[in-house]
Amino acid sequence: MKRIENLFEITSKFKCHVDISSIKSYGTGHINDTYRLKNLFSEEHDYLLQKINHQVFKDVPKLTENMCRVITHLKNQMITSGKGDPQKEVMTLVATKDGPYFYQDSNGQYWRMCHFLKNTKTYDIVETEQQAYEGGKAFGKFQAMLCDLSPEVMHEVIPDFHHIGKRLEQLDQAIAEDPLGRVLLVSTELETIAASSKSMLFFQEDEQLLTLPRRVIHYDTKFNNVLLNLDDKAQCVIDLDTVMAGYVAYDFGDAIRTIINRSAEDEKELSNIKLNLPLFDAYTKGYMEEAGHFINEWELRSLIKGVFLLPYMQAIRFLTDYLNGDKYYKIESTHHNLQRTRAQLQLLKELFEHSETIEKRIFKEAKKHQLINN
């Protein structure tokens, strides 16, 4: 674990009672650094302390404003409807003694703190249909509860985050600059990416821009961003750094990317990357039960596009970072980003091979909620 030299300085700025001798690294995020800290009073909740990656999140005050807006909205909905426990089912940020929900230390680093939710767990790879179903319910409910929050009020904390046209341009730029001479190693991957680029531009087409509603979405719906309780029931959606305006299909696609894959996001052995269709069905069922009452037919028909777009875009993002010299994602070995790229492209290949089946299964579930007739 990296030692935090100024831990005392940081924690003393927040309204908390931490036992600073208890600090431990926590989680598997690729961007921020997360630590768990115990409460000095054992009967009270513990804390998570996060160092926010300032290279990725350039405007931490705006990011925090987005997060607080969403958190407040979700908690208020639970209080008003009397459904759900706002303390356990929504993240709770800890304020600094000066008021804001973040602190910039003497080295210029940004920190935030939130409550640690006891008796919860996350899965990097989904194991059961029950878990997948609960994931679908959690992200579907998250979107549903935010559908009366105007997307206009949200800041675009990472510009063009899921704009595939821009992602392709960033890849082209990395190819042109090629600082480590890695382009030579990735010609197969570049060909695969080029072969699908046109079909992936769906969300940037004029027709979609005119018809698809923009909503407040999560933008990082990896399955491990849902906390499940000890009975494997969804409890809380976490990692709200990227809540912004976008299309529901982005969140559907990113969740499916992690749920339908029998292997890890960075699986080395490509033949292990196979689809788990029962988990796809279970997620879709849970999702439609919660989102079926607010999404429209256009959005429903766009879900399948998200299923292809997200692994494709993720492959491009990993490859761009690989070519740029691994500056964005944390890596565990020299060619980790290349390995991740290959795994995502393999997943995409599998998805393409089963595209009809996948689409039929989405429509079958949608019919149950009268979202379409045929």
Query: Which residues of this chain interact with ligand GN1, rule CB under 6 A?
Result: 29-31, 56, 220, 222, 239, 241-242, 265, 314
Smallest separation, CB 59 to ligand GN1 (Å): 13
Give which of Mg ion, ligand GN1, none residue 30 binds (C-beta under 5 to 8 Å, depending on kind): ligand GN1
Residue, CB closest to Mg ion: 220
Smallest separation, CB 308 to ligand GN1 (Å): 15
Give which of Mg ion, ligand GN1, none residue 289 binds (C-beta under 5 to 8 Å, depending on kind): none
Q: By CB under 5 A, name the binding residues for Mg ion.
A: 220, 239
Cβ proximity to Mg ion: between 33 and 239 the closer is 239
Give which of Mg ion, ligand GN1, none residue 56 binds (C-beta under 5 to 8 Å, depending on kind): ligand GN1
Smallest separation, CB 15 to ligand GN1 (Å): 26
Smallest separation, CB 63 to Mg ion (Å): 12
Cβ proximity to ligand GN1: between 18 and 238 the closer is 238
Smallest separation, CB 158 to Mg ion (Å): 11
Give which of Mg ion, ligand GN1, none residue 335 binds (C-beta under 5 to 8 Å, depending on kind): none
Give which of ligand GN1, Mg ion, none residue 265 binds (C-beta under 5 to 8 Å, depending on kind): ligand GN1
Cβ proximity to ligand GN1: between 285 and 317 the closer is 317
Cβ proximity to Mg ion: between 142 and 202 the closer is 142
Cβ proximity to Mg ion: between 168 and 240 the closer is 240
Smallest separation, CB 148 to ligand GN1 (Å): 26
Question: Which phi-psi region, left, alpha or beta, contains residue 47 (left: φ > 0; alpha: ψ -120 to 50)?
Answer: beta
